[in-house]
Amino acid sequence: MRVHDLPQSLVPILHVAAALAAGGMIGIERTFRGRAAGFRTYALVCMGSAMAMVVAVFPNPWLAAAANAPVDVTRIVQGILTGIGFLGAGIIVKHGFSIRGLTTAASVWTTAVIGVLIGGRYYWEAAASVLLVLGTLSLFRRIEDGMHKENYARVKLSVSRAPGLPKSEIDSLILQSGLQIEQVSYGLEKNRSALDYEYAVSGFDPASLGMLAEHLGTKAEITAFQIYPSHE
């Protein structure tokens, strides 16, 4: 069966569902790579964009009547989505490797598009979109949490200069924990009594960070350390 053979009311819903699937497939790869914008975020953004295009592409009696009005409906829609975009930017918070609020910002923007659908009297499309958004936020979360994905973390530690600890031994502790070293930065305390290291590490096993903490705790030369996992 071709798309044009379906009932006219189902065609826009099919477009929105296809966008949800397309965004989800891209998001799967991003989630696997441990990126903050992952499965649900990409799915929501792609689906919301498709919902906005439904208003512009598919005919509707309300839009036909509004076309003769002095108010440009398309500019109203554009203004709504732009304004909500700024609101979403304020929801996103970044601290080190951790980024929070991306999915919330995407869901806020998508909800605004649902409001546009309702205002444009696309009631069936809006109802289907609500169900798809709820499914994305709940069901997709379970899928995302169960995926085998790369995790990132920031490791900060201080090493006493007397007797000291070679950097190669610190590297060895990290590698023995099942983690890979992505980047290293160095520092020196003001009283010159300790060297500060900051590592960016990655790994697929969430238990590796706990193992690293145990390894670092066995070294008396390491006077302090902090491990900051990346999460959204």
Structure letter (DSSP) for residue 57: H
- Pair (65, 171) in one structural domain: no
- Pair (190, 209) in one structural domain: yes
Q: What's the whole-model pTM score?
A: 0.54
Most confident of 10-14, 110-114, 190-194: 190-194
* CB-count exposure of residue 66 (10 Å: 0-12, 13-18, 19+): middle
pLDDT at 184: 93
Question: Which residue, of 114, 131, 146, is where some domain finishes?
Answer: 146
- Pair (112, 223) in one structural domain: no
Indicate the angle between helix axes 73-91 and 39-57, nearest 10 degrees: 170
pLDDT digits (tens, 9 = 90+) for 47-68: 877 777 776 666 665 555 555 5
- Pair (177, 99) in one structural domain: no
Question: What average pLDDT does range 136-143 have in this prediction?
Answer: 78
Which of the two residues, 142 and 184, has the higher pLDDT score? 184
Read off the tokens for 221: 């030369």
Total domains in the chain come to 2
Question: Which residue, of 105, 125, 146, is where some domain finishes?
Answer: 146
pLDDT at 164: 80
Q: What are phi and psi of 130, to 5 degrees?
A: -60, -45
Most confident of 21-30, 38-47, 58-67, 187-196: 187-196
210 membership: H or E segment, kind and range: helix 208-217
* Cα distance between residue 78 and residue 80, in whole Å: 5
Q: Give the structural domain span for 222.
A: 151-229
- Pair (130, 180) in one structural domain: no
pLDDT at 123: 77
- Pair (172, 137) in one structural domain: no
* Cα distance between residue 212 and residue 227, in whole Å: 9
Residue 3 has pLDDT above 50, yes or no: no
- Pair (187, 129) in one structural domain: no
* Cα distance between residue 194 and residue 93, in whole Å: 32
Residue 199 has pLDDT above 90, yes or no: yes
pLDDT digits (tens, 9 = 90+) for 77-125: 677 677 767 766 776 776 655 667 777 777 778 877 877 777 667 778 8
Question: Which residue, of 146, 179, 194, is where some domain finishes?
Answer: 146
Which of the two residues, 188 and 84, has the higher pLDDT score? 188
- Pair (142, 155) in one structural domain: no
Identify the CATH number of the domain in which residue 222 sits.
3.30.70.260
